[in-house]
A and B are shown apart, each in its own frame.
Chain A
Amino acid sequence: MVQKVNKQITLKDASKYFFNGMSLMIGGFGGVGAPPTLVNLILEKDLQDIFLISNDTGFPWIGPGKLITEKRVKKLIASHIGSNPEAGKQMQDGSLEVEFVPQGTLAEKIRAGGMGLGGILVDVGLGTVVEANKEKVSINNKEFMIETALTADVSIVYAKKADLYGNLVYDKSARNTNPLVATAGHITIAEVEEIVPIGSLDPEEVITPGVFVDFIIQSKGVDWKWVWELKQGTRSQEEQPSK
């Protein structure tokens, strides 16, 4: 009986699923919608050599950026690291291996992984460095690159609401890459603002069906308002917030 399912776990239990050298996919866009409580949990565990897949590296102290700043990441696949100078520095000194993927292609590679596909055919980036080492096929006389699907050992996402089965509802533009990332983890853990009983979500509003989600944890609150509050204020975004 689905009513007996309860995927909510404690942070302590969630912590068991993170390990050295894991591939980790994190939802979010520019820090917005990246699960801060789970990122902090990974930091506390003192893990090394993470292979991170994320749209971007957020800011040095927001979103996936923290894992970079604390030097936990060995390899990164992302579309953009420009808002996180620490990522750029580590890339230049060779301590962080970075593979850039055009943003839309990255989203589709993750979606393909989550949907059980081997890859996708894309023409975005033909005629640029994106083309390098890519296998190509011609379909109806149009050239496409083969882009392989991405999955990860663990996916972590942020959602507004979850029921105990793990059905997820997102909020406005904090949805971004989260529904894609949620499908592409061998284990998917969702950090949510509000956990509700099974049956209290309208099936029409569910964006990620709970079958993709293994565990849910209660969020301790989000950190990404810093992105714009710090820009308006006097402090640099590169500084660690005091609270």
Chain B
Amino acid sequence: MGLGIETRHKIARRAALEIKNGMTVNLGIGIPTLVADYMPSHLHIMLHTENGILGMGGSPVTGEEDGNLSNAGGYPVTIQPGASYFDSATAFGIIRKGLLDVTILGALEVSERGDIANWIVPGKRVPGMGGAIDLAQKAKKVIILMNHTDKYGNPKIVKNCSLPLTVKEGANMIITEKAVFQCINGKLYLREIMDPYTVEDVIQTTGASIIVDEQVSVFQ
């Protein structure tokens, strides 16, 4: 069960609120890519890509694509003033040195301690980790955007991940179509629910212990 386009955009719109002026940010493929559409244009944000751009801009207008200028997914992009190009070693040096303020990634499972599993389903789907381990382990803030449950309705936020890990205790925030969680010192806090879901809905479909804020706000 995939998420509808409106829901995907709502998750992206919520995630964009985490991006502040002056930040260096890497957006993963899928819903994370949509976050760029919701970043206020008056902010100075440097978008980083694994394939060697800092200062990536939006999509080019049709007909003006440059085959040698793409994001990590291979799609044509543009650049912002102040951008730079570099090789893959430097692209990951930026990540490894901890210069990314925020990375936004998808996930298959996240545990209540913030363990992330997002690169392999043994025996089924084995795409490889790409840059996910580097990003999840080294960015200052790791935000996970994902469906609240899998296609069978099973929770994706769990006590312990059953899949091989991408990182131990790496997630700082989880945003799903139902809720916004913060992961602090190995505990999961429910901060917001997404309209029209209720706290009860969220508790019932989450497989982990959650601490519910006294005043959970609602994100429209």
Residues of A within 8 A of B (CB): 29-33, 55-56, 78-83, 88, 91-92, 98, 100, 102-105, 107-108, 110-111, 123-130, 160, 170-180, 207, 222, 224-225, 227-228, 231
Contacts A78-B128, A82-B130, A111-B89 given; 8 further ones with Cβ under 8 A? A32-B67, A56-B130, A103-B50, A125-B133, A130-B133, A180-B87, A180-B88, A207-B87
* A124: contacting residue among B66, B89, B91, B134, CB under 8 A: B134
Q: Which of B50, B65, B91, B165 contacts A128 (CB 8 A)?
A: B165
A-side contacts of B40, CB under 8 Å: none
Given known A-B contacts A79-B131, A228-B70, A107 and B76 have beta carbons under 8 A apart:
no
Contacts known (A92-B126, A104-B96, A177-B88); A127 close to B134, Cβ less than 8 A: no
Residues in A neighbouring B71, C-beta threshold 8 A? 173
Min CB–CB distance B155 → chain A (angstroms): 22
Is B197 close to A, CB under 8 A? no
CB of B101 to closest CB in A, whole Å = 18
A-B contact count (CB 8 A): 151
Which residues B158-194 have CB closer than 8 A to chain A?
164-168
CA distance A161 to B115 in the complex (A): 45
Neighbouring B residues of A225 by C-beta, 8 Å = 65, 67
SS of B interface (majority): loop
Residues of A within 8 A of B49 (CB): 173
Q: How far is the CB of A144 from chain B (nearest CB, A)?
A: 12
> Given A79-B130, A124-B133, A55–B88 Cβ distance below 8 Å?
yes
CB nearest neighbor in A for B62: A232
| Chain A binding surface SS class | mixed
A173 touches B53 (CB 8 A): yes
Q: Which of B67, B130, B164 contacts A80 (CB 8 A)?
A: B130
> Contact: B85 with A32, CB < 8 Å?
no
Q: With A174-B68, A176-B51, A224-B67 as given contacts, are A82 and B74 in contact (CB-CB < 8 Å)?
A: no
Q: Are A80 and B128 in contact (CB under 8 A)?
A: yes
**CB<8 Å pairs between A and B, sample of 24:** A29-B52, A56-B130, A79-B128, A79-B130, A81-B126, A82-B130, A83-B74, A88-B125, A91-B126, A92-B126, A98-B126, A102-B132, A103-B88, A104-B91, A104-B92, A104-B131, A105-B92, A124-B134, A128-B164, A130-B133, A173-B53, A173-B69, A174-B69, A177-B88
Name B123's closest neighbour in chain A (CB-CB): A92
The A-contacting residues of B in range 52-89, CB under 8 angstroms, are 52-53, 65-76, 85-89
A176 and B134: CB pair below 8 A? no
Q: Decide: A31 and B131 in contact? CB cutoff 8 A.
A: no
- Is B127 part of the binding interface, using a Cβ–Cβ cutoff of 8 Å? yes
CB contacts (< 8 Å) of B75 on chain A: these are 227-228, 231
- Interfacial chain A residues near B138, Cβ < 8 Å: 124
B39 close to A (CB within 8 Å): no
Residues of B within 8 A of A123 (CB): 137
Check B129 for interface membership: any CB of A closer than 8 A.
yes
Residues of A within 8 A of B86 (CB): 175
Task: Return chain A residues, CB-CB under 8 Å to B70.
Answer: 30, 32, 173, 227-228
Picked from A107, A128, A175, the residue with its CB within 8 Å of the CB of B92 is A107
Closest CB in chain B relative to A139 CB, distance in Å: 15
Contacts A111-B89, A172-B68: A224 and B74 contacting too (C-beta < 8 A)?
yes
> Bound state CA distance, A123 and B92, in angstroms?
13
A227 and chain B: residue at smallest CB distance: B74
Query: In whole angstroms, how far apart are the Cα atoms of A30 and B123 in the complex?
Result: 23
The reply on B95 being an interface residue by CB < 8 A is yes
Chain A proximity of B57: nearest CB distance (Å): 12
Contact call A32/B87, Cβ cutoff below 8 A: no
Is the Cβ of B52 less than 8 Å from the Cβ of A102?
A: no
Beta-carbon nearest neighbor of B133 in chain A: A102
